[in-house]
Structure 1
Amino acid sequence: MALRFRKSFKVAPGVRINLSKSGVSTSVGKKGLTANLSKRGTRVTAGIPGTGLSASKLYGSGKKTAVRAEPTPIWTHVITWLLIAGVLWWIFS
């Protein structure tokens, strides 16, 4: 059984400080579109609130890794852009 710890504090509208076993991070955004800044890099998450559907992409911190990742299938990019378009339409409509 894994033991996890996470605590989040709201510091301003749309800005949170997150504490966990692995360190401190900052989240900026609201439901549907969030950017999380941490030592691992920046993770952008877009989703449709209330549906459970979301897509997430990690933009690394610039550190090179020894393991080469498999190329991402094109359908994951299509789903990501559809989710982003849906969230933007929901926000601005």
Structure 2
Amino acid sequence: MGFKVRIPLGKNVRLNVGRKSVGISAGTKGVRASVSSKGYVNTSVGNGSVSYNKTYKVGKKNKSLFELIIELFKRI
């Protein structure tokens, strides 16, 4: 059984806490970007019928969440 908690940090920002990782996501309906402590960055754009998702590994697993967020903004 999984464990996941989503904590709102602002209007469009959430802190996502799971059993094995922590992440942060930001965006509005239709556009969202997220970063996980495992080193994955996910971006998605779309509406209900058409969407585009891109997930990629940023680097080492042991990077801090802050470093991963900086990497996300460099790629956007």
Which of residues 12, 15, 21 is equivalent to 2:13? 15
Deviations for 1:30-83, whole angstroms, at most 9, x for unmatched residues?
A: 1111000112221101120xx2543311131225xxxxxxxxxxxxxxxxxxxx
1:6 Cα deviation after fit: 1.2
Greater C-alpha radius of gyration = 1
Identity among equivalent positions (%) equals 29
Structure 1 length as normaliser, TM-score?
A: 0.55
Matched residue count: 59
Structure 2 length as normaliser, TM-score?
A: 0.65
CA distance in 1, matches of 2:13, 2:43: 14
Give ranges in structure 1 of 5+ residues lacking alignment. Answer: 64-93
CA distance in 2, matches of 1:22, 1:56: 23
Q: Relative contact order (C-alpha < 8 Å, sep 6+): which is higher?
A: 2
Give ranges in structure 2 of 5+ residues lacking alignment. Answer: 61-76
Note the aligned Cα RMSD (angstroms).
Answer: 1.7
Runs of 4+ in structure 1 over 4 Å off: none
Deviations for 1:3-53, whole angstroms, at most 9, x for unmatched residues?
A: 2221101111111100111211000111111000112221101120xx254
CA distance in 1, matches of 2:52, 2:4: 21
For residues 35-50 of structure 1, the aligned pairs below 5 Å read 35-39=33-37, 40-48=39-47
